[in-house]
Amino acid sequence: MKIQNQILLAVVLGLVVGLLLNLFQAPAEIHGVLGWIGKLFIRMLKMVTVPLIVASLIVGVISLKTTDKLKAIGLKTLCYYLATTAIAVVIGLAVVNLIQPGVGVENFAEIEGEMPVFERKPIGDMILEFVPVNIFSALVDMQFIPIILFSLVIGLILTALKTKGKPIADLFVALNAVMLKLVDWIMLLAPIGVFALLSSIVAKLGFSIFVTLGKYVIAVLSGLTLHAVVILPLILFFFAKRSPLAYLKNMFPALSTAFSTASSAATLPVTMECAEKEGKVSKESAGFVLPLGATMNMDGTAMYEAVAAVFIAQVYGIALTFGDQMIIVLTATLSSIGAAAVPSAGLVTMAIVLKAVGLPLEGIALVVGVDRVLDMCRTTINVWGDSIGAAVVDFQMGKK
């Protein structure tokens, strides 16, 4: 059976088994074992993420050969990221204003969850941290933005040095190949990992999650669905001249890994594997667009933050002007760029959006309860957006 089909089966089985476990209140040991297997799978993915980002970005930049080409791909990638993220936020705002999930919600206490911990840093400090004092500790701590910047610069230097830097360049080319092989092997376990993760999450959450905050969940999900099945496929069709359905099939293992892990970073190895091998996106485009996209391009997260902000305003009975909503477009787009590609990151950066329009941060407690499910969905859209970006940029680069 092809890996895509195996994973599809794993998703279906994971959902069904999870629901059954929840319904029959299965003993905690079963959840424990499933959760453990899932964690093992996530650890394996995370293990390859940092070396893969470094090697693929350096190799990506080197293989472009000229700074002109780099400028072209950089510009196209950035345009794609910003445009699609802003479109996502606007869709989110339209949906939440239409559905008005927060109007009429009165029983705060019933839905309030635990507030996430915020680490509020001035913007100057955040920028300082982009430059690591010690690149090795940045690698150890998985600080993606410093790692990305460092790798891009090293790639540029190796390109400029030409033959002098060749031994090191070759080293990264080899490292990249080794990491991709490792991903191949880990992928053999993906069906088991996806099944274990999904069944343990569903066993824990059950149906109840959809009942509380139902309208809010519906608002987020309809926005995400609209973006994923209409807007992004249209972009793929018109700007990469590809069949969205065929590409969806190519990327399915990555999307289900995103759904079950709720982390774009952990999914990155699978995303790269699918885009290159199945989706036939060139190595240079995939190696450049995907690692950057995993951390910077989060359509789902941006949309989610906008919907959540307006929902919170509605619950508190605070009216938002058109100007406020424009500020939400801007801050949700920016804060999704700043959000780490790990579970629940969007929940934390949402504080930026709320603060910008003067909404109470305590409002976040209202949406914490359903965050996990929505995180899974928005991460899937984040990865779908990255994947389409890789195909679009690849096609546009090929035209030149």
Binding residues for ligand ASP, rule: CB under 6 A, are 262-264, 298, 301, 339, 341-346, 375, 378-379, 382
Question: Which residue, 155 or 389, is less far from ligand ASP as judged by CB?
Answer: 389
Instruction: Tell which residue, 281, 287, 262, 254, has the closest CA to residue 186.
Output: 254
Residues in CB range of 93: below 8 A, 6 or more apart: 306, 307, 310, 325, 328, 329
Question: Which residue, 22 or 264, is less far from ligand ASP as judged by CB?
Answer: 264
Question: Which residue, 59 or 376, is less far from ligand ASP as judged by CB?
Answer: 376
CB of 159 to ligand ASP, least distance (A): 30
* Number of C-beta neighbours around residue 229 at 10 A: 13
Cα 330 to Cα 83, 217, 324: the distances in Å are: 12, 23, 10
Question: Which residue, 70 or 262, is less far from ligand ASP as judged by CB?
Answer: 262
Cα 342 to Cα 114, 146, 266, 294, 309: the distances in Å are: 19, 16, 8, 10, 20
Whether 232 and 373 have beta carbons less than 8 Å apart is answered as no
CB of 67 to ligand ASP, least distance (A): 30
Instruction: Tell which residue, 395, 377, 367, 375, has the closest CA to residue 105.
Output: 367
Question: Which residue, 62 or 95, is less far from ligand ASP as judged by CB?
Answer: 95
d(CA 274, CA 289): 14
Residue 319, sorted as left (phi over 0), alpha (psi -120 to 50) or beta, turns out to be beta
Question: Which residue, 284 or 375, is less far from ligand ASP as judged by CB?
Answer: 375
CB of 9 to ligand ASP, least distance (A): 25
356 alpha carbon, distance to own chain's centre = 23
CB of 352 to ligand ASP, least distance (A): 13
CB of 294 to ligand ASP, least distance (A): 7
Whether 306 and 92 have beta carbons less than 8 Å apart is answered as yes
Whether 76 and 319 have beta carbons less than 8 Å apart is answered as no
Question: Which residue, 77 or 261, is less far from ligand ASP as judged by CB?
Answer: 261
DSSP 3-state of 185: helix
d(CA 54, CA 291): 9
Closest residue to ligand ASP in the complex (CB): 346
Question: Which residue, 63 or 336, is less far from ligand ASP as judged by CB?
Answer: 336
Question: Which residue, 269 or 343, is less far from ligand ASP as judged by CB?
Answer: 343
Q: Please report, as a single letter, which amino acid is at residue 299.
A: D
CB of 262 to ligand ASP, least distance (A): 5
Residues in CB range of 83: below 8 A, 6 or more apart: none
Question: Which residue, 155 or 369, is less far from ligand ASP as judged by CB?
Answer: 369
- Count of CA atoms in the C-beta half-sphere (13 A) of 168: 15
CB of 77 to ligand ASP, least distance (A): 17
CB of 344 to ligand ASP, least distance (A): 5
CB of 377 to ligand ASP, least distance (A): 10
CB of 375 to ligand ASP, least distance (A): 5
